[in-house]
């Protein structure tokens, strides 16, 4: 009888232990009433004009959600700290939020130098990281897994490696190019754009003529001459603000008559102003974009304008902060029951997410590619009236190439 009683008690204890170990525990930063998120961003110094409205955009979206009752009964608490665009301060800030404050997610990780210095820390921690205010190639992964520690990285903004592929698709699909010239800078941005261009050119079996220049170079004549002599059909300007005007003006000076496409970061009136007088009558300059302000997005834009401080109503950086928060919230809406990191990331992968001002992003099967749909605009006017005019709507690579 005693033996049977001991066996019964042992079985009961084993059942209890199994029940305890199988219970799903909520992730850090999650209570019955709150979900705490955070980021580190430059809100002082030279990058404050970017960081301050970016933070305002995140906060405005969070306030809108909280005013409507939160998500599944939980309000979102958003913390942020000024890292002054300093990688060392950014690293310390991230450690504080992840390890000390134990927030649930990092939303809107900010700036190329800080992201570059802290990305491995994010990967090692496993914390969900949604939206990066940079396009560095280290964010890119075709099939991210938990084993390679890319799974928790959820970029939204265009990644140069993806954009380089879109540039080649545009050259082939819209401009019927068979031989493409690419002038790229020897920095991360240029090399990442080149990576994407090489990948897509190989897939499409088109020739890519490559010329490298130094980032910030004032003399790019040799590279331009080589591209001119190669008699390409179309040119990719794989360089950002400091170098792209020099490249374009040198192409004009050498009377090149082939159209050029450049990255979305160069699509501003100030950049167009720097070259339009020189390129007039010779060739057109096109640029990618990842947000649209057309009729299809009017309702989302109206909602944003209604919710944000009036001084940020037309601020592009505040809009990107709003996008960052919207992407985070969409994943949270999809999680039922106990909120864990794994459930949240799987929820983000479960179906494409719509950018309120743009296309959709699909994280399924570990795709960490950033924005995969971009529109096209053309620099128009003169140095006095410079602007960019919409030419093509938001399109994926597949839809661009359908016109091939």
Q: Where do the domains of the chain lie, and which CATH numbers do they carry?
A: 34-158+294-371 (3.40.50.2300), 161-289+374-401 (3.40.50.2300)
For the chain, the 3-state helix, strand and coil shares in percent, each to the nearest 5, are 45, 20, 35
Mean per-residue pLDDT, 86-95: 97
* 141 alpha-carbon distance from chain centroid: 13
Would you tell me how many other CB atoms lie within 10 Å of the CB of residue 240? 22
Q: 368-377 pLDDT, tens per residue?
A: 999 999 999 9
Mean per-residue pLDDT, 316-335: 97
Whether the predicted pLDDT of 13 surpasses 50: no
Per-residue pLDDT band at 3 (split at 50, 70, 90): very low
Phi, psi of 30 (to 5 degrees): -120, 125
How far apart CA 217 and CA 246 sit, in angstroms, is 8
Mean per-residue pLDDT, 203-219: 97
Average pLDDT taken over every residue of the chain: 93
Query: With b meaning 16 or more CB within 10 Å and e meaning fewer, what string describes 365-399?
Result: ebbbbbbbbbbbbbbebeeeebebeebbebbbbee
């Amino acid at each position: 009888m005693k033996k049977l009683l001991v066996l019964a008690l042992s079985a009961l204890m084993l059942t209890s232990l199994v029940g305890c170990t199988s219970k799903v525990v909520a992730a850090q930063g999650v209570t019955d009433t709150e979900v705490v998120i955070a980021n580190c961003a430059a809100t002082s110094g030279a990058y404050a004009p970017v960081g301050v409205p970016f933070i305002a955009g995140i906060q405005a979206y969070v306030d809108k959600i909280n005013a409507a009752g939160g998500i599944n009964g939980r309000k979102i608490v958003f913390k942020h700290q000024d890292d002054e665009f300093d990688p060392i301060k950014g690293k310390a800030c991230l450690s504080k939020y992840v390890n000390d404050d134990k927030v649930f997610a990092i939303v809107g990780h900010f700036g190329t130098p800080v992201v570059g210095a802290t990305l491995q820390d994010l990967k090692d921690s496993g914390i969900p990281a949604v939206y990066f205010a940079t396009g560095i190639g280290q964010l890119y992964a075709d099939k991210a897994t938990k084993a390679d520690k890319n799974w928790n990285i959820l970029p939204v903004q265009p990644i140069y490696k993806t954009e380089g592929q879109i540039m080649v698709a545009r050259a082939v699909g819209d401009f019927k190019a068979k031989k493409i010239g690419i002038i790229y800078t020897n920095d991360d941005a240029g090399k990442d754009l080149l990576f994407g261009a090489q990948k897509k050119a190989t897939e499409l079996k088109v020739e890519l003529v490559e010329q490298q220049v130094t980032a910030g170079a004032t003399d790019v004549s040799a590279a331009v001459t080589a591209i001119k002599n190669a008699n390409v059909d179309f040119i990719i300007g794989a360089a950002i603000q400091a170098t792209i005007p020099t490249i374009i003006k040198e192409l004009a000076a050498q009377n090149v008559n082939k159209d050029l496409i450049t990255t979305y970061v160069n699509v501003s009136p100030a950049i167009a102003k720097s070259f339009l007088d020189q390129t007039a009558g010779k060739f057109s300059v096109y640029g990618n974009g990842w947000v649209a302000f057309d009729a299809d997005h009017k309702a989302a834009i109206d909602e944003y304008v209604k919710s944000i401080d009036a001084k940020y109503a037309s601020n592009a950086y505040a809009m990107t902060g709003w996008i960052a928060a919207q992407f985070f919230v969409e994943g949270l809406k999809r999680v039922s029951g106990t909120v864990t990191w794994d459930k949240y990331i799987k929820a983000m992968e479960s179906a494409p997410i719509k950018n309120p001002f743009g296309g959709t992003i699909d994280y399924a099967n570990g795709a960490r590619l950033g924005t995969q749909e971009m529109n096209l605009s053309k620099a128009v006017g003169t140095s006095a009236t410079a602007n960019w005019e919409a030419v093509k709507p938001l399109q994926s690579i597949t839809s661009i190439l359908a016109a091939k």
